[in-house]
Chain A
Amino acid sequence: SQQGEEDPQALSIQEGENATMNCSYKTSINNLQWYRQNSGRGLVHLILIRSNEREKHSGRLRVTLDTSKKSSSLLITASRAADTASYFCASRRAGGTSYGKLTFGQGTILTVHP
């Protein structure tokens, strides 16, 4: 079963607009990662934020993490048609030996219209 839930499930915007996706998780985490997937292909790693970080930037991406609310958000600024894809959050549980195990959210399907 999926630990995370993402919202919205689908998002449709115009080129140039910003897109915000939210993710919630259930257990304490070591880090949270965001991935992009184009049309049933492999996942592309976008950004990793550690549990002791609150915000991280990478190019047009901004990720926030609120461990008290067990939630994260991904903001894509000035979106482009090429950003059209499914976006997933994935968390690594704190403690134990789950070094390589990620628990994924259900994903947000983003469509950017030119």
Chain B
Amino acid sequence: KAGVTQTPRYLIKTRGQQVTLSCSPISGHRSVSWYQQTPGQGLQFLFEYFSETQRNKGNFPGRFSGRQFSNSRSEMNVSTLELGDSALYLCASSNLAGGNNEQFFGPGTRLTVL
């Protein structure tokens, strides 16, 4: 089974621009979660999608948004980029079988905002 894939792997943007990151979960997984990782704040939960519905959202401003498609692929969008948005963005998928939520992570998208 193929793992979680994320595109692009690296991205450089300038302040004020917007960016869209993509995540394809493991086949059969319907839950997709997004996390931001920075040296200062560590790993922080952004949001979770299940069956095209946002089920949970972390403490991030409205500039961060996401969506999930019928094939479970997910995108996240960051508008009006700030320098502090530079981070590794990780996507994880889970099948939530038996109430477990083992998250399988993709390689991440490293976003640099100049």
Residues of A within 8 A of B (CB): 2, 30-31, 33, 35, 40-45, 48, 50, 88, 90, 92, 97-107
Contact A101 to B33, CB < 8 A, known contacts A33-B102, A48-B100:
yes
Tell yes or no: B75 within 8 A of A by CB.
Answer: no
| Number of chain B residues close to chain A: CB under 8 A | 31
Cα A31 to Cα B88 with chains together (Å): 25
B90/A102 in contact, CB under 8 A: no
| Cβ-defined partner of A100 (8 Å) among B33, B88, B106, B108 | B33
Tell yes or no: B71 within 8 A of A by CB.
Answer: no
Contact A45 to B56, CB < 8 A, known contacts A100-B50, A106-B42:
no
A101/B42 in contact, CB under 8 A: no
Q: Interface 1/0s, chain B 53-86, versus A by CB < 8 A? A: 0011010000000000000000000000000000
